[in-house]
Structure formats: structure tokens, C-alpha cells
Amino acid sequence: RTYLPQLSSVRIGRVRRVLRLGRLRLPLAKPEMRLLRKSRPFWSVLGARGFWSTVLRVPITFPPDRFYGAQLAAMCVPDIQGTQGTFTLFTTRRSAEGFKEGGARVLLDSDGETDGAGRHFETAFQGPDNELVDGSPPLTLPVAIDLDRQSGTARIEVNGRMLELAVGELSDWIELSFKAAPGIKVRGICRMMVTEMGEHFSLYATPINIDPEKPAMPISHPSYYAVYLAKKLGKYATLGLAEDTWALNEGVIDDQTFLRLTYDIDREREEMFFAALDKLRRGTVVCVFDATDRIQHMFWRYLEPDHPAAKNGAKAPSRDAIAELYEHNDALVGRIRARLGAEDVLMVLSDHGFASFRRGLNLNAWLHANGYLALKEGGDGSEEWLRDVDWSRTRAYALGLTGLFLNVEGREAKGIVKSGEEAEALKAELIGRLSGLIDEQSGETAIQEAFDTASLYSGPYLKNGPDVLIGYNVGYRISWDGATGVVEGPIFTDNVKPWSGDHGIDPRLVPGVFFSDRSIGCDDPALIDVAPSALWLFGIQPPSYMDGKVLFTEDFTAVAKER
């Protein structure tokens, strides 16, 4: 309908029935909040048979499942602004440009001099839109900052609390409370760090996470589970993608700060995992540890001295970050094994591997250069989200990380390609031209293979996917501009951002790993095999709609009787 991207995992609607009292709008119903993931996860099937599961931070669990067990949601849980993670930089540095990726720059008034040694600034955090007031203006929270240059510290007052930070010192979680209406507050938490206090002053704040002790949205099942964890273990990150990769990409924080933030989140996760494991008598504990993903994304550049993003790679303090992370996780597996009994089963797996991201390919620029995509008269292709595209003359377009779509008549709002033979011929032509595409500057193959999704997948949701999936080669990925629908610029560009490793490529080149302390009966385990295998271990025959195979080889009848 709009050619704009839409979050595919969850739908959050607006309250349409309200009572108006002056400027106030009092909701008469709850907003729609619906998980768009289909089918049933294995923990729901186990729960229906009386087996408890604790599920910690598994992607696509927001809003949480309702089942016999406990769950803390993960990927796609928003910050309190409703985004997937927007950091804030309070700074005296003027800039004509904002942050491209997930950040807000708040300019501090440099006329706030109080004396020769310090300055005073008045500013504010921006919170969510206030749906209780006409016009839905954003909520704000005042912040006062006093600099003491002699001691090299900043005193920050927010919510009546005074916080003193030296340059480079990362705060603990700080509570932020936004007043929406009398008796109604929206509560969040963030961490702060003074990044500079010389000629200029800058204060970094992480995205404002939903406060787990007073969540503004359902982030756990039962609803009190998030509160229980906070009371037991302290405040913790709730944002779906909590590690602030955008701030490192934008140069707002450095490598060491990112690693500190990431390892702190990893420690929170480990404490949750062991707390759940210690309480479990029969059932499953499932936990996702994200640091392996985030640190490989951001530090792959140090594995390759000639990587375009490898600045001072051989001398960088964090050049061994990936190796150190694997040692850290290996020790974690050892601690877990030490707590398990003889009848317990441990599986350690990843849903993908990693590869270098050295060069970006802007698919829309390629489509434009080759006559498949046209721009509006006067448009130069610089607008994001394909806003410069002339759909009346466009036959194909790219959206997202690996998807290519035909502009099909009757499906797209302004489609011109007739479904059937014309669409199939165009698809075959694009697959033929893109498979094996060469980067003329480097001489390397950029796309290993383009795939017809209709030949890979089937079922009722096939129409929701792209027409063609792009299987990039190692070293390549959709470019940063290409991912956001910008058409202008070169087709191929160097990737100079810290986000230097990726897995959005031909999946055959980045397989995940699978480890188990029980032998399995095949040498090609797949992610979809985990669900039927987990059910089988509890003596439950996997339902027919599960595509995966059972990995374990013990006699099913004997295991069922034993369980």
C-alpha cells in the first residue's frame, strides 16, 4: 500500500475509544498489541502437557506468549519512545547533520557559563508521545547539568536525584519518570556517561529502556516476572536490541564503552539464567546470550588488517575482543555443565555464523542503473525509503537487508508488472543477472546466488515474503544507503563503519553451530530441528506441522516411559 517497511513481528495499535475532558483524552480500551509470529513454539506445547519452561530473551517473543511457564521478551521490545533503540547525546558541539542511525542530538546552550571553572545547562530528555493529551505532544523530563572543570566532573540532576560523573565514567541504571497526567507516569531507565569535558562538553545516554519494575508495556509472562527479576537481581536492560551498536557506529562512544555495556548486559543475562536453572526441577530453561552477535558485528574489522573499517587495528586495545568473547562463553558453558545432573540435556546453538562485511551493494542503485527502477522527475534518489521512486515506471525495487520485490499490478498500490508469465519472466531475468554479480572495482563476486523464494518456501505466508532473496558472498552485504531505500550514489561502496561483520548473506556461507552433551543421529542439524527434539526428550511426539527432524537417537518408547 505504501512501499514503506513495517515491523514484521508485532502490531501495536492506537486507542480509538477515548473520553475527552478538556485537553485530556482518557482511554476507554487497551490498544491492540499482537505478536505476528505464527504457529506454536515448543514451550507452549510442553506447557500444555504440564512441563514448565523459563524462556529468557528469545527473539520474536513480544508481546510474550501465554503458556505454563515464564518468559522475558526480547527482540522488538521497544524503548519508551517506541523505537528499536534511540540513544541521546547532549552536547555543545553544533552539527548540521543529525545521526543517521538510532540517535538524537540535543544541543546544549553554550551561553550557560556560571564562572571560570564551570557551566550550567538546562535541557530535557524526550519521552514517548503523550496520547492522553490532544495533539499527542512528546513527554519531556527536565535535566540540569553543572560542570566542575577543576575536579573534572559533571553533576546531573534528573527526577530529583543528583548524579556525579567523571569523564569516561559509566553510570548504573538511572530511573526516569515522565508525568503523562495526574497520577499517571511512564517510567524508564538509562545509563549515562560524560564523553568529553574540554572545549566542548558531551553527555551520552543509552536508549531509555522500559523500567522492568514498572513496565509500561507487557514485557514478561506472567506480568510480574519482569518485576520479580528486577527485585531479585536489580535493574536490567529490557530493550530488544539492548547493546548500543548505533552509538558506536556514530562515533558517540568508543570500543571500550561498548564492550563494557555489552558485558554488563551479558552478566545480567547470566544471573537470570542461573536463577531460573536453580529453581527448575523438571522442564526447560532457554536463554539467548546476545554478546556473540553484537561483538562480532562490531569488532570483525580487527580480524582483517586491510578491512576498510580497521583503523589502528593492530594497536587497538580491543583488537582481541572476539577471541576473548569466545573464551568468556566457553567458561560459561563450563559453569553450566557443572550445575547439571546426569539426566539433564544441554544444547548450545546459534542461529547463524559470521563473515566479513567489507563492501556494500546498493541494489536500488543497480536496479536504477539497469533500467528496472525509475526516479520521479526532479528526484535525485537521495530521499530515504524510496520516496524519490516513480512507481509508474518501476518494475522492481529492493527493501530490507536481502529482499527484492517486483512491482506487481494488483499487489503493490502502483504496480505495473502483470502477475503470471510477465512477472515470472522478469524474476528469472533478475535472478540470472544478479547471480554471480561482479564488483568491478575489486574483481570479486558480490552475489553468490539470487533465489526464487517460491522455489524455496511454501505455505500460507509465502505471499508476505520478497520475490527474490539475495545470497551475498562473503565480504558483501546490502549497503547502508541501500538498506534505507536511498537510490543515489555508487552501486558499490566500502564499509567504513565499526559494524564490520555480518550474516545477511547466502546462508550456506554462515552456518550456525550446534553442540550437545547427548549424541545426535545426523551431521546436518538445523535450527528447525530444535523444537521437535525438545518435545521428544519429554516423551512428546512432535506435531505434524513441525518441519524439523528429531536429532537424538535413543529409543522413543523407552525415553517416553522413563520420563
* pLDDT band at residue 231 using 50, 70 and 90 as cut-offs: very high
Helix and strand counts by DSSP (H, E) for the chain: 12, 32
List phi, psi (to 5°) of 165.
-130, 135
Exposure b/e, 435-472, CB count within 10 A at least 16 = b: bebebeeeeebbbbbbbebeeeeeeeeeeeebbbbbbb
DSSP string, 62-96: SSPP-SSEEEE--TT---TTSSS--EEEEES---S
Least confident of 22-36, 109-123, 315-329, 508-522: 109-123
* pLDDT band at residue 101 using 50, 70 and 90 as cut-offs: confident
Tell me the pTM.
0.94
CA distance 272 to 72: 10
pLDDT in tens, 301-349: 999 999 999 987 768 889 999 999 999 999 999 999 999 999 999 999 9
Checking if the pLDDT of 288 tops 50, the result is: yes
Mean pLDDT of 462-473: 94
Mean pLDDT of 222-227: 97
Checking if the pLDDT of 109 tops 90, the result is: no
Element holding 448 (H helix, E strand): strand 447-452
pLDDT in tens, 472-498: 999 999 999 999 999 999 999 999 999
What 3-state class would DSSP assign to 147?
Answer: strand
* pLDDT band at residue 18 using 50, 70 and 90 as cut-offs: low
pLDDT at 466: 95
Tell which residue, 384, 435, 413, has the closest CA to residue 394. Answer: 413
* pLDDT band at residue 556 using 50, 70 and 90 as cut-offs: very low
* pLDDT band at residue 12 using 50, 70 and 90 as cut-offs: confident
Tell which residue, 293, 196, 309, 172, has the closest CA to residue 243. Answer: 293
pLDDT at 117: 56
CA distance 278 to 255: 34
pLDDT in tens, 162-219: 999 999 999 999 999 999 888 889 999 999 999 999 889 999 999 999 999 999 999 9
Q: Percentage of residues in the chain with pLDDT exceeding 90?
A: 80
Checking if the pLDDT of 423 tops 50, the result is: yes
Q: Which residue type does 227 have?
A: V
Mean of pLDDT over the chain = 93
Mean pLDDT of 135-146: 93
- CB contact set of 432 (below 8 Å; sequence gap of 6+): none
pLDDT at 561: 53
